[in-house]
C-alpha cells in the first residue's frame, strides 16, 4: 500500500504535490518523494520519513516545473535504504520517472528478462523499478523521436502483457506528458480529475479522491482496470482501454481499512460502505446472539468508528469513545517487526476507565490481522475494569497472505490461519468473538456500485484474481518476507531487503 499522485498544470506543481502527499500520508509513512519537470530538466527529492520531514523549504524551492509526480512509501520488509524511495527514474528513452502502488507477482521473471533480453540493469530490490524499466523499454520499442498518445498507450498495452499482479502507476515522460495506468484487475485504486483555471485545464492523477478534494479538483472518475489516461504537456487528455479482457477485482481491504473514509473508490463511497459493514454486523449479532448483554459499543480508533457507530445504532446500545489515541504514533498495522507492533499499541491507545468499569463491552475493529493489537486492547479493557469483553471485526478472518501490496506476507503470522473460531476466542482473550461474514462484506461494498462483479478477497478466502499464485510462490514469500526471516537477517548483521518488494 502506497500513495501516488501526478499533476500537469499551468502553474508550479511542487506545493500541490506536497499537499496531496500529506492527504495520502495514511497510505505510507516510510518514505516520500517528489520529481518535477521544467522544460526538459528533472528535479528530484526523496528520502525516508514522513512528508513533513522529507521536504524543507530549500528542497521545495528546487522542485520547479509545471508537471510532476510524487509518492509515499509503505514499509514492508524493514529496509531503511532511501534508495527504495520513489519516484524511480531512467534516462532512456527521453527520461521517464514512475511512482507505483501494488506488487508484481512475476517480478523475478521480469527482472531476469530485463537483463537478458532488454539489456536493462535493476539497481534495487523494488518491483517498482522493474515496472518502470518494462514501461521504458516498451516506449523505446515504439522507435519514435516524438511520442504520441497512441504510442504511450501501445507501451502500456505491452506492460499489461508482460506484468502480473497489482499495479496502479503514474509515469512522467520528460517533454511528452504524464500517464496513469491500472492493472487489468483494477486491484489497487487510482482516480483522475481536472480543474479549470484562467490559463486552461489542470489535471491530476492520485490514489484516492481525497487528494483531489483537498486541492479543488473535480473528480472525472476512476482509471478503469486495464485503462490508461495520458495528459500531454500542452494539457490534452486522452484515454484508452489497453487490456481488452480487463475486469474489476478491486481489493476489498481498501474499503475495510486502507482508504480514508472520505474517499470514493470505483464509485463506492468508502464511508457508506463502512456504515453498511456495521449494519450487517449488527444483523449477525441479532441473528446469532439475540439475547446479548452488551452494555456499550467502543470502537478501536480510527478506522472502525464508522462501522461501530452504525452497529451501536442498529443494536440500540450506547456508543462510547473508550480509547484516546496518541496522534503522534504511526498506524500499528504498518509497523515493521512484531516487537515494535506490541510496544506501540499501549503507546498509541489509552483507555478511559469509566467507560469500561463494570460493563460488558463490545470492542469493534475493522479487522484482525496478526492479532497482536487485538490481544493487547482486550487486555487493556479488562485492566480498565470491564466485566466482560466482546470483540467484533468488521471484516472476516484474515487467513491467507496478501501478494498485491499489503504487508501480510506470511500465513504463519496471521492469527486466524489454521485456527478455529473457538481457538481464536481463547487466543485473543475475548469472552465472545464476532466476525463479519464474507458474503455480507462483499454486499456491503457492492451495494454502492452493482457493476462491481468481483473483488480481490484473497486474504479471506485464498482466491487470487491474477491466478498465478501457487503454494510455491507463497512459500517463497514467507521465506523472504516473514518477521522471522527479517529477524534472522538482523541477527546475522545482513541488510533486510525483499525479493518481492511491495510498493
> Which residues, 6+ apart, have CB-to-CB distance to 145 below 8 Å?
none
- 13 and 118 in a single domain? The answer is yes
Of 273, 305, 500, 271, the residue nearest 408 (C-alpha): 500
Residue 484 lies in a domain: no
Residue 473 lies in a domain: no
365 is in an annotated binding site: yes
pLDDT of residue 487: 55
Residue 184 lies in a domain: yes
- 228 and 318 in a single domain? The answer is no
Angle (CA) 8-13-19 rounded to 5° is 115
pLDDT of residue 476: 86
Whichever domain contains 382, its CATH number is: 3.40.50.2020
Q: Is the dihedral of CA 55, 33, 52, 10 positive or negative?
A: positive
- 406 and 319 in a single domain? The answer is yes
Residue 116 lies in a domain: yes
The span from the CA of 7 to the CA of 65, in Å, is: 10
**Grid coordinates belonging to 356:** 469500561
Strands (E), 342-465: 349-351, 360-365, 388-393, 432-435, 455-456
Strands (E), 176-234: 177-182, 191-197, 200-206, 218-222, 227-232
- 425 and 297 in a single domain? The answer is yes
Residue at a domain's end among 217, 247, 277: 247
**Grid coordinates belonging to 451:** 457493476
Q: What is the DSSP letter of 319?
A: B
Residue 443 lies in a domain: yes
Of 148, 154, 104, 162, the residue nearest 129 (C-alpha): 104
- 168 and 288 in a single domain? The answer is no
- 109 and 220 in a single domain? The answer is yes
Number of domains in the chain: 2
Residue 43's φ and ψ, nearest 5 degrees, are -130, 130
303 is in an annotated binding site: yes
- Grid look-up 524499466 returns 133
The span from the CA of 265 to the CA of 279, in Å, is: 20
pLDDT of residue 490: 47
Q: Over its length of 503 residues, how does the chain's per-residue pLDDT go in tens digits?
A: 899 999 999 999 999 999 999 999 999 999 999 999 999 999 999 999 999 999 999 999 999 999 999 999 986 544 556 888 999 999 999 999 999 999 999 999 999 999 999 999 999 999 999 999 999 999 999 999 999 999 999 999 999 999 999 999 999 999 999 999 999 999 999 999 999 999 999 999 999 999 999 999 999 999 999 999 999 999 999 999 999 889 999 999 999 999 999 999 999 999 999 999 999 999 999 999 999 999 999 999 989 999 999 999 999 999 999 999 887 765 544 454 555 555 568 788 999 999 999 999 999 999 999 999 999 999 999 999 999 999 999 999 999 999 999 988 689 999 999 999 999 999 999 999 999 999 999 999 999 999 999 999 999 999 999 999 999 999 988 887 665 555 554 454 544 433 333 33
pLDDT of residue 376: 95
Residue 465 lies in a domain: no
> Which residues, 6+ apart, have CB-to-CB distance to 374 below 8 Å?
365, 368, 391, 415, 428
Residue 309 lies in a domain: yes
CA gyration radius, the chain = 23
Residue 490 lies in a domain: no
Strands (E), 357-463: 360-365, 388-393, 432-435, 455-456
The span from the CA of 156 to the CA of 180, in Å, is: 10
Residue at a domain's end among 431, 451, 471: 451
In contact, 8 and 177? CB cutoff 8 Å: yes
293 is in an annotated binding site: no
End-to-end Cα distance, the chain: 6
- 69 and 210 in a single domain? The answer is yes
Instruction: Supply the range of the domain harboring residue 436.
Output: 269-325+345-451
- 224 and 280 in a single domain? The answer is no
In contact, 15 and 51? CB cutoff 8 Å: no
Whichever domain contains 108, its CATH number is: 3.60.20.10
In contact, 438 and 446? CB cutoff 8 Å: no
**Grid coordinates belonging to 424:** 481464536
- Grid look-up 487466543 returns 427
- 315 and 172 in a single domain? The answer is no
Residue at a domain's end among 436, 451, 466: 451
> Which residues, 6+ apart, have CB-to-CB distance to 304 below 8 Å?
364, 365, 366, 394
Question: What three-state secondary structure class fits 34?
Answer: strand
Catalytic residues: 2
- 238 and 305 in a single domain? The answer is no
Question: What three-state secondary structure class fits 73?
Answer: strand
The angle that helices 270-288 and 438-446 make with each other, rounded to 10 degrees, is 140
- 40 and 149 in a single domain? The answer is yes
Of 379, 387, 380, 378, the residue nearest 357 (C-alpha): 387
- 113 and 166 in a single domain? The answer is yes
Amino acid at each position: 500500500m502506497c500513495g501516488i499522485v501526478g499533476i500537469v498544470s499551468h502553474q508550479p506543481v511542487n506545493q500541490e504535490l506536497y499537499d496531496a502527499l500529506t492527504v495520502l500520508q495514511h497510505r505510507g509513512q516510510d518514505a516520500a518523494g517528489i520529481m518535477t519537470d521544467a522544460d526538459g530538466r528533472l528535479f528530484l527529492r526523496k528520502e525516508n520519513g514522513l512528508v513533513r520531514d522529507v521536504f524543507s523549504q530549500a528542497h521545495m524551492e528546487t522542485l520547479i516545473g509545471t508537471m510532476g509526480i510524487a509518492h509515499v512509501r509503505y514499509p514492508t520488509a524493514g529496509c531503511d535504504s532511501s534508495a527504495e524511495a520513489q519516484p524511480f527514474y531512467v534516462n532512456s528513452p527521453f527520461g521517464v520517472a514512475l511512482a507505483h502502488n501494488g506488487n508484481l507477482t512475476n517480478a523475478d521473471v521480469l527482472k531476469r528478462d530485463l537483463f537478458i533480453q532488454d539489456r536493462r540493469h535493476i539497481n534495487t530490490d523494488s518491483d517498482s523499478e522493474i515496472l518502470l524499466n518494462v514501461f521504458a523499454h516498451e516506449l523505446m520499442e515504439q522507435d519514435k523521436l516524438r511520442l504520441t498518445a497512441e504510442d504511450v498507450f501501445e507501451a502500456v498495452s505491452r506492460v499489461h502483457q508482460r506484468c502480473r499482479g497489482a499495479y496502479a502507476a503514474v509515469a512522467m515522460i520528460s517533454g511528452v506528458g504524464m500517464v496513469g495506468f491500472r492493472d487489468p484487475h483494477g486491484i489497487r485504486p487510482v482516480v483522475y480529475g481536472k480543474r479549470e483555471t484562467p490559463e486552461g485545464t489542470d489535471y491530476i492523477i492520485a490514489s484516492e479522491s481525497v487528494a483531489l478534494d483537498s486541492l479543488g479538483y473535480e473528480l472525472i472518475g476512476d482509471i478503469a482496470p486495464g485503462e490508461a489516461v495520458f495528459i500531454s504537456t500542452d494539457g490534452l487528455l486522452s484515454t484508452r482501454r489497453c487490456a481488452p479482457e480487463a475486469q474489476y477485482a478491486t481489493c476489498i481491504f481498501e474499503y475495510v481499512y486502507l482508504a480514508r473514509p472520505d474517499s470514493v473508490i470505483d464509485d463506492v463511497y468508502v464511508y457508506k460502505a463502512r456504515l453498511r459493514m456495521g449494519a450487517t454486523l449488527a444483523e449477525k449479532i441479532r441473528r446469532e446472539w439475540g439475547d446479548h448483554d452488551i452494555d456499550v459499543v467502543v470502537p478501536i480508533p480510527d478506522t472502525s468508528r464508522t462501522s461501530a457507530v452504525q452497529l451501536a445504532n442498529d443494536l440500540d446500545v450506547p456508543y462510547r469513545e473508550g480509547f484516546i489515541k496518541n496522534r503522534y504514533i504511526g498506524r500499528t498495522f504498518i509497523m515493521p517487526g512484531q516487537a515494535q507492533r506490541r510496544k506501540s499499541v499501549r503507546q498509541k491507545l489509552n483507555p478511559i476507565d469509566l467507560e469500561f468499569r463494570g460493563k460488558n463491552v463490545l470492542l469493534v475493529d475493522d479487522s484482525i490481522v496478526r492479532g497482536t493489537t487485538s490481544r493487547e486492547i482486550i487486555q487493556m479493557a479488562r485492566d480498565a475494569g470491564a466485566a466482560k469483553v466482546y470483540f467484533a471485526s468488521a471484516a472476516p478472518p484474515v487467513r491467507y497472505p496478501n501478494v498485491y501490496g499489503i504487508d501480510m506476507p506470511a500465513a504463519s503470522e496471521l492469527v486466524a490461519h489454521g485456527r478455529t473460531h473457538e481457538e481464536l476466542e481463547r487466543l485473543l482473550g475475548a469472552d465472545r468473538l464476532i466476525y463479519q461474514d464474507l458474503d455480507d462484506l462483499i454486499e456491503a461494498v457492492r451495494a454502492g456500485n452493482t457493476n462491481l462483479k468481483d473483488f480481490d478477497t484473497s486474504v479471506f478466502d485464498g482466491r487470487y484474481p491474477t491466478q498465478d499464485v501457487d503454494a510455491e510462490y507463497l512459500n517463497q514469500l514467507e521465506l523472504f518476507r516473514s518477521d522471522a526471516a527479517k529477524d534472522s537477517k538482523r541477527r546475522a548483521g545482513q541488510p533486510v531487503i525483499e525479493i518481492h518488494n511491495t510498493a
